[in-house]
Chain A
Amino acid sequence: MTSVSSDKLERQKSRASVAVYLKTHIREYGMLVALVAIMAFFQFGTNGVLLKPLNLTNLFLQNSYIIIMALGMLLVIVCGHIDLSVGSVVGFVGALAAVMMVSYKLPIFVTVPVCLLVGALIGAAQGYWIAYWRIPSFVVTLAGMLVFKGLTLALLEGQSIGPFPKSFQALSSGFIPDPFGGENLRIFSLLLGVAAAGGMLYFGLRARAKQAKFSEVEEPLGFFLGRNGVIAVAVVFIAYLLATYNGLPNVLITMAVLISAYTFFTNKSVMGRRIYAIGGNEKAAKLSGIKTERLTFLTFANMGMLAALAGLIFAARLNTATPKAGVAFELDVIAAVFIGGASMSGGVGKITGAVIGAFIMGVMNNGMSIMGVGIDWQQVIKGLVLLAAVIFDVYNKSKGES
């Protein structure tokens, strides 16, 4: 009798904990569900064009630079700041690469490291004023935005410069080779996709087992399997679709490596943890012995480097450096991070969220273009989606507090 009732109690308790878990993590699952729903909507709305291998490949190429910058922007926003200059840095670095490679005929292995270094220095220069002089990041990077937009024009003398050498173009528009020589199906690409999905599952399970050894496991098993199952199937499916075209684009590999590295950095590294603490409560972080200024400075240097990488990829994709490159990119990047659930006041946000946010923006751009929605209404819709995502966040938070 008692055992039955205690069993019942136990079950009630676990059901309650599932509900609590869902309530506290509704944002993360909501994001994924929203992305899938948006993709389904456009898949239907475009009569299946959205997920055609050619279009899918384009989707990745079009959004790679936004996603790469969103990684850095997430850290900046988590740290409690903002960087408005990234779009101009994209243009500037693209122009610098063009001048170096096209005008001065410097080789790619010199140009790329120099450009990345210049990006890091630009970020560091802005971070210096923000971190050590406590000048608001909004102001410093607004100034940076104007400065580098102007320098781009100066460097290009108002002209477009191109085309780039083939090897540089491959940075963006190349595909990984297939040693198996598959004509209709790039087997190596497919295998990479399967391996990535398998690896994700393996590491997820291992972390879970480790956690279970000495404490309660946070995520209910059903959720864990469901979430990872959906993601794994999606990864393999996308890899398959891409494999039927040209295989995985180079830039997708770059992106995947960066996303993994930054996810690891934010979840597991001491530095990453401290950046969250700074954004969450700078004074408490400082009183805990954290060098808040130095970390803020490095966060901006990192952002500058990623913006430079995005600038190179963008220039390689267009195969020319234009004075217009990068204009208004910062808005897409910042929007992606906020759609991804980061908090304006800092301390909250996830890499996966920012990436999903960037994909939501990208899929909407792509889908609406295919459907023939004008650029005017596209902007209106994107703006409303951003607003809705943030309202959803704030509503959730206020509900949680009451």
Chain B
Amino acid sequence: MDGMDSILEMRGITKTFPGVKALDNVNLKVRRGEIHALVGENGAGKSTLMKVLSGVYPHGSYDGDILYDGEVQSFRGIADSERAGVIIIHQELALVPLLSIAENIFLGNEIDRHGIIDWPTTFARSDALLSKVGLSDPSSTLVTNIGVGKQQLVEIAKALSKRVKLLILDEPTASLQENDSQKLLDLLLEFKAQGITSILISHKLNEINRVADSITVLRDGAAVSSLDCNTETIDEARIIKDMVGRDLAHRYPERTPQIGDVLMEVTDWTAHHPQHPERRVVDGVNMTVRRGEVVGIAGLMGSGRTELAMSIFGRSYGQNISGQVKMNGRPVAVSVVGQAIAAGIAYVTEDRKALGLVLDETVVKNITLSNLNQVSAHGVIDDSAERRVALDFRNRLNIRTPSVFQKVGNLSGGNQQKVVLSKWLFAEPQLLILDEPTRGIDVGAKFEIYTIINQLASEGKGVVMISSEMPELLGMCDRIYVMNEGAFVGELSAAEASQEKIMSMIVRGRLQ
């Protein structure tokens, strides 16, 4: 009887974005008062599903029904879902750093009389909420002055202030230390005792095993399994298999690797967080890349892959960076971007809009930006030479644009990515670090990007490929490093690598 009472049933949820089916007929059933874990790879659709539930994607923009608290709901926005008691806490905390804890808790929901805030009540109620989540700091403390773990607790206190019935936590422990994580999980168990239902999105299977009553595994936008932890014992291997157990959905162009001498060697590379100097974001990484080799770096978001690449590329990330980079056996200086480029390194960013392109400028001007000296004499740009370069890359990489004078902001994601690649190929690097080179682009364009990568390798360049899509790494790379919490936790050759092995290296982390 109790087991049948579900607080939430999502039935046949389908959500499509232009060109992509993010969710495909997903069913999710959450019983009242349980802790329900939602697991899956990056891009499996967990966050999308939760955004559908919380009304970020309003009713009507998806197919299927949401049955919550016995009624079919049609949330039109977060305000609607919050009124119904569904509160989501995102991975990136949504607190205002320079306001106090109390102000943050009641932000948008202030306790007031005719527009005048009632401060005594605000602080009193905040303090009461804080004691519920086990936080002893006074509620007048500024949020910027407390650590990430405590900020997470403030978010939860904020949720409690809204009379939460269903609490959704999106990777709450991703940025927490071990003991903070434990505290948070204890809190969830306490809430469970008080009758609050939680949905926990997490990659950490040991945590899930500890607190979850049931588990739903999402893969490629579909719910592939629902497991009840009370009736059966679930081992990690089973979950991992469900998470990754697909055939290689995409095809990868054929390549016969011709691997040459060592091109780049990174030894003992360490970098610290730019704001929190005590945090090691990259920790003693050793890496080699040979000519003609495609080397993958696997890991979850936040594992330090981008930070590793950017700290090598002209110290574009972090502080107190130490370690050595050798190119062709000789140590090279890489402490400013210009030096890194001169040493033959190119970094193709994961965030092409924010870090890779000048969106308001034309294709021509973006392509030549990294190497303007090549198309100029005495500081004066030769328009003809510049356009020749752009037309050449348009043909070579098949950039689909009506004209090379088109603003890159008007191109599709795949073609923007080709412009970024052109820009870096024009700098004539020996080694390319490609950070999520196929993120947000359609399948056809992905294949073209893969072909370009293979061609670069066959020209004797070294390629480092950072990707969250494991099949992509398995399909493209000759060797894969596995990264977790800033350190390399494993290295696999193409022959021995499998999604299960990578995933288990990640979830077991550094204990290995």
Interface residues of A (CB under 8 A from B): 207, 210-211, 213-216, 218, 268-271, 273-274, 276-277, 280-281, 283-291, 343, 347-348
Contact = CB atoms under 8 A, between A and B. Distances in A.
Contact of A280 (B337, B355, B360, B380): B360
B338 A291 contact: yes
A117 B99 CA distance: 46
B387 interface: yes
A111 B365 CA distance: 42
A79 to B, nearest CB: 13
A347 B379 contact: no
Given A214-B388, A281-B359, A347-B358, A286 B337 contact: yes
User: 9 tightest CB-CB pairs across the interface, nearest first?
Assistant: A280-B358, A289-B338, A289-B337, A288-B370, A281-B358, A289-B341, A270-B372, A288-B369, A270-B379
B404 interface: yes
Given A274-B372, A288-B370, A269 B380 contact: yes
Query: Of B338, B356, B372, which is in contact with the most chain A CB atoms at under 10 Å from its CB?
Result: B372
Nearest to B406: A24
Contacts of A268: 380-381, 383
A269 B386 CA distance: 12
A213 B384 CA distance: 9
B361 A280 contact: yes
Given A210-B384, A287-B337, A347 B369 contact: no
Contacts of A214: 384, 387-388, 391
Contacts of B427: 289
Contact of B365 (A210, A211, A216, A273): A273
Contacts of B358: 276-277, 280-281, 284-285, 347
Given A216-B403, A270-B373, A277-B369, A284 B379 contact: no
B341 A211 contact: no
Given A213-B384, A216-B403, A276-B361, A287 B391 contact: no
B423 interface: yes
Interface string B361-378: 100010001101100100
A134 B384 CA distance: 37
Interface in B381-412: 381, 383-384, 387-388, 391, 403-405
A274 B372 CA distance: 9
17 contacts: A214-B388, A218-B403, A268-B380, A268-B381, A269-B380, A270-B376, A270-B380, A273-B365, A277-B358, A280-B359, A280-B361, A284-B357, A284-B358, A287-B337, A287-B347, A347-B358, A348-B360
B313 interface: yes
Interface string B234-247: 00000000000000
Main SS at interface, chain A? helix
Contacts of B379: 269-271
B354 A283 contact: yes
Contacts of A286: 316, 337
A273 B381 contact: yes
B349 interface: yes
A373 to B, nearest CB: 38
Contact of A284 (B355, B372, B387): B355
Given A215-B387, A276-B361, A269 B381 contact: yes
B183 to A, nearest CB: 36
Contact of A287 (B355, B372, B373, B376): B355
Contacts of A270: 372-373, 376, 379-381
Interface string B334-353: 00011011000001010000
A211 B383 contact: yes
B427 to A, nearest CB: 8
A283 B354 CA distance: 7
Contacts of B380: 268-270
Contacts of B404: 215
Contacts of A207: 383
A280 B381 CA distance: 19
B429 to A, nearest CB: 11
A186 B465 CA distance: 70
Contacts of A273: 365, 369, 372, 381
A288 B388 contact: no
Interface in B307-322: 313-314, 316
Given A211-B384, A214-B387, A214-B388, A287 B338 contact: no
Contacts of A291: 338
Contacts of B376: 270
A395 B411 CA distance: 21
Residue of A218, A289, A343 with most chain B CB atoms under a 10 A cut-off: A289
B384 A287 contact: no
B92 to A, nearest CB: 19
B361 A347 contact: yes
Nearest to A283: B355
Contacts of A274: 369, 372
A211 B383 CA distance: 8
A216 B406 CA distance: 12
Contacts of A213: 384
Contacts of B369: 273-274, 277, 284-285, 288, 290
Given A214-B387, A287-B337, 16 more contacts: A211-B387, A214-B388, A216-B403, A218-B405, A269-B379, A270-B381, A273-B381, A276-B361, A277-B358, A277-B361, A280-B361, A287-B356, A289-B338, A289-B340, A289-B341, A290-B337
A281 B357 contact: yes
B391 A215 contact: yes
